[in-house]
Each structure stands twice: as structure tokens, then as C-alpha cells.
């Protein structure tokens, strides 16, 4: 399905540009083990991600945010992840070539993620610094996705507007974020959620490999 011409593309990070699941699982389980809680499987962590690390640990820890060790566990996770977030993480196949081509075609590119801001900026700098100029993650002073705040902030930094931008992501949170920001949504099936979940959120354009993004944008 072809869609009208845009000049700005905002990407989700985890499950869209980077396969971060193994490193997230390892840091979750480091924190769980540190406080004597049961470890979580890769598939469990897959379902937990998407709403920020606070929610990730809330879902991973017994009793959730009511657990008296919740805040300490969250800090332990963040400290461990900050030092180990590139052990197994890598761009999905075809991502680098697609970003290079998009940049060559003159698109403005940004990343907006619910991962904590310092990690988002570090990962984008290290993996995609040649292509992506603006990266925003979760922080205390800006509401996280699916609120539109981080997307609108990124658009302002790029000098763009919602009607000229698309949001590319792999999850129901991304679909809701695009809707709340008045951006066209493009769903991807190689990430952490299924095609069915994206369709349930009303996604009209769904791609199965990064290179397809080039054709649906032109």
C-alpha cells in the first residue's frame, strides 16, 4: 500500500531499529536474582517491554510496584543495563541500509522511545549517529508514549510538523502514540509484537522487512 509523500520519519527503538531483548532480559534477571526473586523468560520480557523500564520492572517483580523493594530493584536494573546494554543488542537485518538510503533521499530522521533517555541517546549515538540527529527517551519532565509529548518535541527539533511525518514502530503503544500525535503509523512485524496486535490497533500499513519502508513512502 502506497501512502502520500512525507519528509520526516520518527522511529521507535526497541523492536523496531534494535533487537534489544536479550540484553533487557539479562538485566531484568540480574535485578531479580540480586533481590532473590524468580527469573523471567525471554518471552515474558518480550510482553513486558514497551511502556518504559518502570513498567518493565513492575511487571517482572512479584507484587509489582507494591513490592517494598520495587524502587531499589528498578535502580539495580537501570545501573546494570546502562553498563550492559550493548552485549547482545544489534540492529535488525536491513536497518542500516534502509537508514542510509532514507538519509540519502533527504528524510529527517528521529528516534522516540520509552526507554530511559540516557540509554536512548547512547544507543542511537553508537549505532545510528551518522543517520539520526534527534533521539528522545523517557524523562521526568516529559510524558512517555503513548502521550504525544516526546514525538512533538522531536518534530520541533527537526523543524517538522505532524502532517509531514510518519511514526514507525512494532507495538500497540507505537500505534497509539502515532494516533495521539496525529502522525501516520507504519507498523513493523519483525519486533516484539505480532501483526495481529498491530491490526487490532487499526494499523493500515504494515511492513515485514525494513527495505519495504522505502517503497511505501514514495
Same domain for 48 and 95, yes or no, is no
Our measurement of the distance from residue 93's CA atom to the centroid of its chain's CA atoms, rounded to an integer in Å, reads: 16
Out of 12, 23, 26, 117, which one is annotated catalytic? Answer: 12
Same domain for 13 and 52, yes or no, is no
At 5, the pLDDT band (50, 70, 90 cuts) reads: confident
What pLDDT, on a 0 to 100 scale, did the predictor assign at position 84? 97
Distance CA 70, CA 20 (A): 23
- Average pLDDT score over residue span 141-162: 94
Same domain for 27 and 80, yes or no, is yes
Same domain for 12 and 106, yes or no, is yes
* Sign of the alpha-carbon dihedral angle for 210, 45, 152, 172: positive
Task: Note whether residue 2 is domain-resident.
Answer: no
Contact 134, 154 (CB under 8 A): yes
Number of domains in the chain: 2
**Neighbour-count burial for 28-64, b at 16+ CB within 10 Å, e otherwise:** bbbbbeeeebeebeeeebbebbbbbbbbbbbbbbeee
User: Where among 30, 49, 84 does a domain terminate?
Assistant: 84
Same domain for 111 and 180, yes or no, is yes
Distance CA 199, CA 195 (A): 6
What pLDDT, on a 0 to 100 scale, did the predictor assign at position 140? 87
In terms of DSSP bridges, do strands 184-188 and 205-207 run parallel, antiparallel, or are they unpaired?
A: parallel
| Residue-averaged pLDDT of the chain | 95
Same domain for 77 and 52, yes or no, is yes
Same domain for 152 and 100, yes or no, is yes
Task: Note whether residue 156 is domain-resident.
Answer: yes
Distance CA 55, CA 28 (A): 12
Task: Note whether residue 201 is domain-resident.
Answer: yes
Asked if residue 76 has pLDDT above 80, the reply is: yes
Same domain for 117 and 141, yes or no, is yes
C-alpha radius of gyration, the chain, whole number? 17
Give the CATH number, domain containing residue 131.
3.40.50.1000
- Average pLDDT score over residue span 73-90: 97
In terms of DSSP bridges, do strands 134-138 and 8-11 run parallel, antiparallel, or are they unpaired?
A: unpaired
DSSP 93-149: TTHHHHHHHHHHTT-EEEEEEEEEHHHHHHHHHHHHTTT--EEEEEBTTBPPTTSSH
Give the CATH number, domain containing residue 77.
1.10.150
Asked if residue 2 has pLDDT above 70, the reply is: no
At 87, list the grid cell: 552485549
Same domain for 38 and 145, yes or no, is no
- Average pLDDT score over residue span 50-77: 96
Domain that holds residue 47: 21-84
Task: Note whether residue 131 is domain-resident.
Answer: yes
Task: Note whether residue 110 is domain-resident.
Answer: yes
Same domain for 177 and 118, yes or no, is yes
Same domain for 76 and 101, yes or no, is no
User: Where among 31, 59, 84 does a domain terminate?
Assistant: 84
User: Where among 59, 84, 109 does a domain terminate?
Assistant: 84
Distance CA 111, CA 104 (A): 18
Same domain for 26 and 15, yes or no, is no
What pLDDT, on a 0 to 100 scale, did the predictor assign at position 111? 98
Task: Note whether residue 117 is domain-resident.
Answer: yes
79 among known catalytic residues:
no
At 150, list the grid cell: 516526546
Phi-psi region of 94 (alpha: psi -120 to 50; beta: other; left: phi over 0): left
Task: Note whether residue 168 is domain-resident.
Answer: yes
Task: Note whether residue 77 is domain-resident.
Answer: yes
Amino acid at each position: 500500500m502506497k501512502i502520500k509523500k512525507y519528509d520526516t520519519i520518527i522511529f521507535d527503538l526497541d523492536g523496531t531499529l534494535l533487537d534489544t531483548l536479550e540484553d533487557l532480559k539479562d538485566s531484568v534477571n540480574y535485578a531479580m536474582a540480586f533481590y532473590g526473586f524468580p527469573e523471567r523468560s525471554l518471552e515474558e520480557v518480550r510482553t513486558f517491554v514497551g511502556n518504559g523500564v518502570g513498567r518493565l520492572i513492575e511487571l517482572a517483580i512479584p507484587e509489582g510496584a507494591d513490592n517494598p523493594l520495587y524502587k531499589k530493584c528498578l535502580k539495580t536494573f537501570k545501573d546494570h543495563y546502562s553498563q550492559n546494554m550493548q552485549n547482545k543488542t544489534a540492529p535488525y537485518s536491513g536497518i542500516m541500509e534502509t537508514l542510509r538510503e532514507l538519509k540519502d533521499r533527504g528524510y529527517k530522521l528521529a528516534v522516540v522511545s520509552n526507554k530511559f533517555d540516557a540509554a536512548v541517546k547512547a544507543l542511537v549515538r553508537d549505532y545510528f549517529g551518522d543517520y539520526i540527529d534527534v533521539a528522545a527517551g523517557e524523562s521526568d519532565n516529559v510524558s512517555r508514549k503513548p502521550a504525544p509529548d516526546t514525538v512533538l518535541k522531536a518534530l520541533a527539533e527537526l523543524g517538522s510538523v505532524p502532517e509531514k511525518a510518519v511514526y514507525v514502530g512494532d507495538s500497540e503503544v507505537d500505534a497509539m502514540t502515532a494516533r495521539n500525535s496525529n502522525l501516520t503509523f507504519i507498523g513493523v512485524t519483525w519486533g516484539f509484537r505480532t501483526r495481529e496486535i498491530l491490526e487490532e490497533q487499526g494499523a493500515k500499513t504494515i511492513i515485514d522487512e525494513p527495505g519495504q519502508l522505502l517503497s511505501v513512502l514514495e
